[in-house]
A and B are shown apart, each in its own frame.
Chain A
């Protein structure tokens, strides 16, 4: 009986799954003008697809909001918003430029009877102009075509129709909401003392999905736009807002709305799903295909003729963007050391190298030992049997099986480099652009120019790197803001460095990477690390193959560079360094904790959390707290920000190891500033570690 019961439940859930995956009707769930799941201005208890990014811009009578929303986990999402409120102040600087962060958390899913519940914090740091908290419930009807939402708001979301806070029953202190004093030094802190305090108000609304493209929205808003009415001439005639959303493409929705019965606004939402590049898994035509072993044998290549084997292999690897550094044979095993210059996923480099070896080496060699090297430093050694390649090339589970059968081990030693492998020069002359964001005088400044980079690899692990930039056009040098920081100006003088005319030496370093022992990596660097600092840097990393955890320690002694000369140094010297822990939480979540001394001499720690997809798309957030007080730090109170990076192959579908990224800080000050070093060990070696190889093994047969 129990068995039958079990099987019928299985059948039911199977049916349900099929129904969900095939039918998937369009749900009446939208994104509000604040960029979070919601109606027009009001939030709802829905979520967006896990891991997706939304960019929402909305324009309403001189009131512009640009919001980047990221669905951090299936329930939690976060927002960074940059708003411009025209003529907010009287006087010369009349616009308000506001940066704000939100969090939205869905407490429970919708069930057959109960709605979904969520709560959220709007503008929980910052100047608090949008500061509000809410709890909200949403329920779908009419086959998901109608969403009904109702909630309770505090702060700005209680500025219309507010009543005495029901939480006042718990404690008297909930009845009063402290007001923002207007002191810029108070910005950037989490306003715990304001959360869910003061009056509360009801809000709610309806969303109706008319067809696949068109959605109609009506809401009862608890936002009176009080400040905007006082300062910017807003009118608030009615609490009812009306909106229209038109889904132009799968990832682009246009929005139109009327707020307060008097203002009309427009906007759009652009969605990026990091797991949905244009060409999933890449395009990559003409992949290496195995030649049958009998045909290789018929060619009569002699095992003893090592030079001929090496030449055939080297030429063919080169075709695939792989540099052969060493070739040797031991019995029936062929051993190579190679450098992957083309593929983001080292698993793809391995897969191609193994197939190329099978197609160019004598048929009697039955095992391939491939050492992946970074700047010539060996990282991991993968042994692949020739028969497994032939057996699994077209197997339906060939990716997983080939991973299981491959043997990945630590590689502390490496073969001596072949003649001609060193020295090696690699260079680029490429356009670059740099940005500076959120300067109230000009929110986006940008330089466009040419960067010449060269890497001269003298011996395994030992190299010299140079990056020289020449601006062609740009506005970075037009900043007139002078740092008011009371700390050493280790970052806040950055605009001064952009004023230097002529070519700039962005990097000029000598680097030595080596393996001090099993699971250990070492680095010593000296020179000009970045536009603002030069000196010496040393680092040790412990990172066993396949480990979730890696630990590192770094020690640097640096001098600040002179902003007025190309190579000169100032007399500001500092010993700085960190102990770091890196952890892979699984399911694309990663964390990093750095504890140590920062450039301004302050002691503290940085916590970084990232969501990093196996296709290389990365988005994260970080915050640094040090012994510098919030007041000493100045505007923003402490260092924090967001960063993202998008690999180039995500866009083009063709293999490439580069990409572009951006770190967005609401404001850059001098506290919690870390030295920028180009080749920190964890980032340098992790793509060849067994852990990353496993994550990306799906690319082995590409």
Chain B
């Protein structure tokens, strides 16, 4: 390597390293782009920590396409109007659940902005069978909120035990088979017969995210 090219390389590295900004977001971007420079220590999201301090109820979440990356999401808040619970993971990813049925995500890309699942919810919690429609609104690559309608068959299956913490709970497996513009998908819900509570589920979250599994966890602090 000639002396000149060494000089050039050092120069280019200096340019990259020298970036800085009064805007924190830009500064974060620069830090992320510079190799071998200490990244700020990864700390858990403040809203997650607050939920942890409050001993908020939680779910374990795992995406079907990354089965090894299990996260715990704790309840950040519950909307009084819609009853939707927003669960937040330590990295800030959020999952919106209405009585255990996924109605929103934030932080995954191509996120589910909202969903209308009342007819689904009614059949699933009653462990009945029938046909229901569901509406799912996604944000697309052009930043538009686009709603898709699905026609879903819902039917009960057998009894299965689901372990929450160390306690086995008897549940009825409910299947929801939906057809719509992105093709078809199956959602599964493990429902407690008495209360209608969903303690475990495997649900489709959108064309990019695919399916995710959720399971109720006992208090994370105990």
Q: How many angstroms between the C-alpha atoms of A505 and B22 in the bound complex?
A: 20
Contact A656 B25 (CB under 8 A): yes
Q: Which of B135-170 contact A (CB under 8 A)?
A: 135-145, 147
The complex places the Cα of A140 from the Cα of B3 at a distance, in Å, of: 59
Q: Specify the chain B residue showing the minimal Cβ separation from A286.
A: B92
In the assembled complex, A631 has its CB within 8 A of some CB on chain B:
no
Q: Is the CB of A473 within 8 A of B109?
A: no
Q: Main SS of the interface on chain B? A: mixed
Give the total of A residues in contact with B, Cβ under 8 Å.
65
Instruction: Confirm or deny: A278 has a beta carbon within 8 angstroms of a beta carbon on chain B.
Output: yes
**Cross-interface CB contact of A286 among B82, B94, B137, cutoff 8 Å:** B94
A280–B18 CA distance with the chains assembled, in angstroms: 31
Q: Which of A280, A285, A426, A473 contacts B139 (CB 8 A)?
A: A280
**Pair A426/B29 contact, Cβ less than 8 Å:** no
Do B79 and A393 touch across chains, with their CB atoms under 8 A apart?
yes
Chain A window 203-223, contacts with chain B (Cβ cutoff 8 Å), 1 for yes, 0 for no: 000000000000000000000
Interface residues on B, range: 35 or more
Q: A residues near B, CB below 8 A?
A: 18, 21-22, 273, 275-287, 289-294, 321, 341-342, 345, 390-391, 393-400, 425-431, 448-450, 472-473, 613-615, 648, 652-656, 658, 696-699, 701-702
**Binary contact readout B171-200 vs A (1 if CB under 8 angstroms, 0 otherwise):** 000000000010100000000000000000
A614, B113: Cβ atoms closer than 8 Å: no
Which of A280, A292, A425, A702 contacts B77 (CB under 8 A)? A292
24 inter-chain pairs at a CB distance below 8 angstroms, sorted by A residue, are A277-B141, A279-B109, A284-B107, A285-B93, A286-B47, A286-B88, A286-B92, A287-B106, A289-B77, A345-B143, A390-B79, A393-B84, A396-B116, A427-B21, A428-B20, A448-B15, A450-B18, A613-B142, A614-B142, A615-B142, A655-B25, A698-B140, A698-B144, A701-B145
B1 within 8 Å of A (CB atoms)? no
Which residues of chain B come closer than 8 Å to A426, judged between CB atoms?
Answer: 22-23
Nearest chain A CB to B31 CB, angstrom units: 12
Choose among B23, B26, B30, B113 the residue that contacts A399 (Cβ–Cβ < 8 A).
B113
**Residues in B91-112 with C-beta less than 8 Å from chain A:** 91-94, 96, 98, 103-104, 106-111
Docked-complex contact A429 and B19, CB < 8 angstroms = yes
Closest to B9 in A: A473
Report the bound CA distance from A279 to B208 in whole Å. 9
Residues on the B chain within 8 Å of A282, using CB: 109, 139, 143
Minimum C-beta distance from A71 to chain B (A): 15
Alpha-carbon distance A473/B109, docked complex (angstroms): 37
Of B18, B139, B142, the residue contacting A429 (CB under 8 A) is: B18
B37 within 8 A of A: no
Known pairs A289-B76, A395-B114, A399-B137; A278 contacts B109 (CB<8 A): yes
B80 close to A294 (CB less than 8 A): yes
B143 near A281 with CB under 8 A, answer yes
Q: Are B81 and A285 in contact (CB under 8 A)?
A: no
Q: Is the CB of A293 within 8 A of B106?
A: no
Decide if A289 touches B80 in the complex (CB within 8 Å): no
**Residue contact B113 to A285, C-beta cutoff 8 Å:** no
Q: Does B115 sit within 8 A of A, measured CB to CB?
A: yes
Are B141 and A430 closer than 8 Å at their CB atoms?
Answer: no
Which B residues lie within 8 Å of A281 (CB)?
109-111, 138-141, 143
Chain A residues with Cβ below 8 Å from B116 are 395-396
Residue picked from B26, B80, B98, most chain A C-beta under 10 Å:
B26
Contact B14 A292 (CB under 8 A): no
Interface residues of B (CB under 8 A from A): 8, 11-12, 14-16, 18-26, 29-30, 45, 47, 76-82, 84, 86, 88, 91-94, 96, 98, 103-104, 106-111, 113-116, 135-145, 147, 181, 183, 208
A280 near B141 (CB under 8 angstroms)?
yes
Which residues of B have CB within 8 Å of A472?
A: 11-12, 14-15
- From B8, B22, B82, give the contact of A428 (CB < 8 A): B22
| Contact partner, B15, options A294, A450, A696, Cβ 8 Å | A450
The answer to whether B94 touches A285, judged by C-beta atoms less than 8 angstroms apart, is: yes
**Residue of B with least CB distance to A433:** B15
A698 to B80: give the CA distance in the assembly, Å: 24
Would you call A21 and B181 a contact (CB within 8 A)?
Answer: yes
Q: How far is the CA of A104 from the CA of B84 in the complex (A)?
A: 51
Q: A285 with B80: in contact, given A341-B23, A449-B15, A472-B12 (CB under 8 Å)?
A: no
Q: How far is the CB of B209 from chain A (nearest CB, A)?
A: 11
Partner of B107, one of A286, A398, A697: A286
Quick check: A429 and B21 within 8 Å, CB to CB? Answer: yes
Chain B residues within an 8 Å CB radius of A18 = 181
Q: Could you tell me the distance between the alpha carbons of A391 and B79 in the complex, rounded to whole angstroms?
A: 9
Q: Could you tell me the distance in whole angstroms from the C-beta of B64 to the nearest C-beta in chain A?
A: 19
Neighbour of A289 across the interface among B86, B91, B113, CB < 8 A: B86
CA distance in complex: A22, B93 (Å):
30
Q: How far is the CA of A394 from the CA of B81 in the complex (A)?
A: 9
